[in-house]
Chains A and B, each alone.
Chain A
Amino acid sequence: MMEALFQALTLSGGYNARVVALGCAAFGLAAGALGCFVLLRGRALIADAAAHATLPGLCLAFILAAGMGWNPRSLPLLMGGAAATAALGVLAAGALARGGRLRDDAAMALVISIGFGIGVALLSVVQSLPVGGQAGLSSFILGQAAGMSAADAWLIFWLALAALAAVAVLFRPLAVLCFDADFAAAAGLPVRWLDLALLGLMLAVTVAGLRAVGLILVVALMVVPAATARLSTERLSVMVPLAGLLGAFAAWMGAGLSAAAPSLPTGATIALVACALFLLALLFAPARGVVAFALRQRRLRQEAAMEARSA
């Protein structure tokens, strides 16, 4: 196993393994970088809701392909279906919360669970179809880097790179938007369009991650590296690249681990690596870590006690 892990991590495991590792790392990079904006704009849960709402789309695309006689395992087709229902899920969450009676959090929880549930029901329809390849569909739930083809990996790679390029181009306006939306509007920035662009990028990255990380944990790669970077720095120009690197490292390491031990679900492994990095930062980050916080609390207590004595 150690040898297999070494092979996977050093990209010496053959062309296919190399491309898969590359695709995963590119996805991690894009997810981490974009995640900073998703996090700062308070959209973390929308990303999760959208990810869970991809399952019905995946199944519908599969059923459509089976009915039309197309290849039901075609990744672009499945991604298209996933993106469509994810967008519907986001719209549904907005509609539910608009009446004012249900709050955003309840709307998100509803879309997450009902979206996933509809997908599960459709998945059982898919199982009964008289075509092959159904088993591959359930790997979108928890992710499976092991069986990925080079063509799929390249698709993920380019999609992630495109999202990354868009993040780079939109860096300044997105930064202003996340810092202060009112100011952005006053400064003449098209806030609505920027929010839509952020949402679109989020959907693109989510869909790109489905094959490797799976829909349940894809949000982890957006939120966790960004949160880790936020613990470590106050500056967005440092936070975004740092989160990207952390995401890429987690995706590459996690994919390598699960390639070496195929019983480990790839998505869970990647998420765990990202969370381990987060825990380290939570404990030891210079200003915001647990240790620094405890020291500061103690100092405040001592000061209060000293003042009480002198009073």
Chain B
Amino acid sequence: MSIAPPALEVRNLSVAYREAPVLRGVNWRAPASGLTAIVGPNGAGKSTLLKAALGLVPRLAGEVRFFGQELRQARRRIGYLPQRASVDWDFPATALQVAAMGRYPRVGWFLPLPRAERERARAALAEVGMADFAGRQIGQLSGGQQQRVFLARALALEADLYLMDEPFAGVDAATERAIIDVLHRLGREGRAVIAVHHDLATAPQYFQHVCLLNGGVVAAGPMETTFTAENLSRTYGGRLSLLDEAALRPAAAPPAGRPLRAVP
């Protein structure tokens, strides 16, 4: 057992958007470092869990701690990567301007961005292979390139915990590779990454820990012991297609060419 406090601890968290609660009494301790996937069916409250933890949506009840601290004290150690579709990519901004937003906490209010900070943002773009696109309008980038710009902005924050909402949604294979390289480097550096992930086939390959979510936490822990067919069918309520128990039992990647996906 590690002595370090969990990167994210959620106690009795409940969130309701209109009438029906999306999250009911969620209790979860995310590991202090390494890559963790949040997996669950559509409408399970995966994105809501991240947003409620960050205070972006109001919570009905519950407490949230980052590294044992309140959000307010820990904010500088947290990096958020929103869903790509959550913003208007027609907005007049360049890739560099977006990446530079990750340096704003270092600059503070009211002051313009110093040249050194702009260079840090440029370096973050280079880390995701986007150095050549720094001056490009974001609206002219492909979906994968836009996602990389978002990742660069998150990296520019130099956080200890990253909360990523579907970082692999709608990206090309090259971008997926580039993102996973970055995630693994973050993991090696001892940082924590918590990502909402949709692809059950790649989850065991990419992540070391998993939190199976459907309104509440069904199971959470190391990938090998938690990502089992039994837990998955409890999470998805039997709504899995191609549920191949043989492929899942060793908790390894399913055989190539047989993607395992949840039925929406």
Contacts and interface: CB of A to CB of B under 8 A. Distances in A.
B19 A301 contact: no
**A305, A308, A311: most-surrounded residue (chain B CB, <10 A):** A308
Query: How big is the A interface, by class?
Result: 10 to 19
Contact of B60 (A100, A101, A300): A300
Given A296-B19, A311-B25, A311-B27, A304 B14 contact: yes
Contacts of B60: 300-301, 304
Nearest to A307: B25
Interface residues of B, number: 12
A308 B61 contact: yes
Interface in B5-40: 12, 14, 16, 19, 21, 24-25, 27
A307 B19 contact: no
Contact of A308 (B12, B19, B21, B90): B12
Interface string A95-116: 0000011000000000000000
B259 interface: no
A307 B15 CA distance: 13
B221 interface: no
A307 B27 contact: no
B62 interface: yes
Contact of B61 (A100, A296, A305): A305
Given A311-B12, A311-B25, A311-B27, A304 B90 contact: no
A101 B21 contact: no
Nearest to B90: A101
Nearest to A311: B25
Interface in A288-310: 296, 300-301, 304-305, 307-308
B65 to A, nearest CB: 16
**A296, A300, A304, A311: most-surrounded residue (chain B CB, <10 A):** A304
Contacts of A311: 12, 25, 27
B24 to A, nearest CB: 7
A100 to B, nearest CB: 8
A83 to B, nearest CB: 35
A301 B27 CA distance: 17
A308 B16 contact: no
B139 to A, nearest CB: 10
A307 B90 contact: no
Contacts of B61: 301, 304-305, 308
Interface string A257-269: 0000000000000
A301 B21 CA distance: 10
Contacts of B25: 304, 307-308, 311
Contacts of B19: 296, 300
A101 B139 CA distance: 11
A131 B62 CA distance: 74
A236 to B, nearest CB: 22
Interface string B89-116: 0100000000000000000000000000
Interface string B51-91: 00000000011100000000000000000000000000010
A150 to B, nearest CB: 51
A300 B60 CA distance: 8
Contacts of B62: 308
A301 B19 CA distance: 11
A266 B190 CA distance: 71
A100 B12 CA distance: 45
Contact of B21 (A100, A300, A305): A300
A214 to B, nearest CB: 36
Contact of B14 (A100, A101, A307): A307
A298 to B, nearest CB: 11
Interface in A71-112: 100-101
A301 B12 CA distance: 12
A296 B255 CA distance: 49
Contacts of A301: 60-61
Contacts of A296: 19
Contacts of B90: 100-101
A165 B62 CA distance: 56
A171 to B, nearest CB: 30
Interface in A252-293: none
18 contacts: A296-B19, A300-B16, A300-B19, A300-B60, A301-B61, A304-B14, A304-B21, A304-B24, A307-B12, A307-B14, A307-B24, A307-B25, A308-B12, A308-B25, A308-B61, A308-B62, A311-B25, A311-B27
Given A300-B60, A307-B25, 11 more contacts: A300-B16, A301-B60, A301-B61, A304-B14, A304-B16, A304-B25, A305-B61, A307-B24, A308-B25, A311-B12, A311-B25
9 A-B pairs closest in CB distance: A304-B14, A308-B12, A304-B61, A304-B60, A307-B25, A311-B25, A300-B16, A308-B61, A301-B60
